[in-house]
């Protein structure tokens, strides 16, 4: 073995670790690109659409008709809000909640609707509707329009259905 051969061997050994590092970095980059293109998300991106929940409208007194009306109104309101493409209707962890109450006062029905931000329980909007004969679909659409306006949501395509054979879904 000559002196030049012994000097060439350490030089070859020194070059090998550089190539190994480059190969390792290349494999890491290819793996990251593969995971990204394959649909694995490394970061959770929250939705920009507000999440909203509609709670049943409670009867202010022990009136079974008002209780049924409140449940029907909540269902109609969910249907009206579901058609707003910029809102997400959820059961849990909403950003805002629509809730209210129904009360019979003389010959009228008082329906109170409230929009509440859940993070700080701040009431964003509230309105009392005094009505004598009610179409729940029309009232729900009126409330949904006010909620969308308060949340600065453009109105979507709204479809209101009624019970066959009846002009109104619920009467009291």
Q: Are residues 40 and 56 in the same domain?
A: no
Is residue 157 in a domain?
no
* pLDDT per residue as tens digits for the range 35-58: 776 654 544 445 567 888 999 899
Q: Which domain holds residue 30?
A: 1-45
In the chain, the number of structural domains is: 2
Q: What is the DSSP string of 124-163?
A: EEEEEEEESS--HHHHHHHHHHHHHHHTT-----------
- To the question of pTM greater than 0.75 for the whole model, the response is no
Element spanning 115, H or E = strand 108-117
CATH number at residue 111: 3.40.50.10070
Is residue 155 in a domain?
no
Per-residue pLDDT band at 31 (split at 50, 70, 90): confident
Q: Are residues 36 and 58 in the same domain?
A: no
């Amino acid at each position: 073995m000559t002196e030049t051969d012994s000097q060439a061997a350490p030089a070859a050994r020194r070059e090998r670790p550089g190539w190994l590092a480059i190969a390792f970095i290349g494999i890491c980059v290819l793996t990251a690109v593969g995971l990204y293109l394959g649909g694995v998300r490394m970061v959770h991106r929250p939705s920009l659409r507000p999440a909203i929940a509609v709670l049943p409208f409670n009867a202010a007194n022990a009136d079974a008709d008002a209780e049924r009306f409140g449940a029907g109104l909540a269902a109609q309101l969910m249907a009206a809000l579901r058609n707003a493409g910029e809102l997400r209707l959820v059961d849990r962890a909403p950003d805002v909640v629509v809730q209210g109450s129904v009360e019979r006062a003389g010959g009228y029905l008082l329906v109170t609707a409230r929009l509440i931000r859940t993070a700080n329980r701040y009431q964003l909007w509230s309105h009392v509707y005094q009505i004598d004969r009610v179409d729940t679909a029309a009232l729900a659409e009126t409330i949904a329009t006010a909620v969308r306006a308060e949340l600065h949501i453009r109105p979507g395509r709204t479809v209101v259905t009624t019970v066959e054979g009846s002009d109104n879904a619920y009467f009291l």
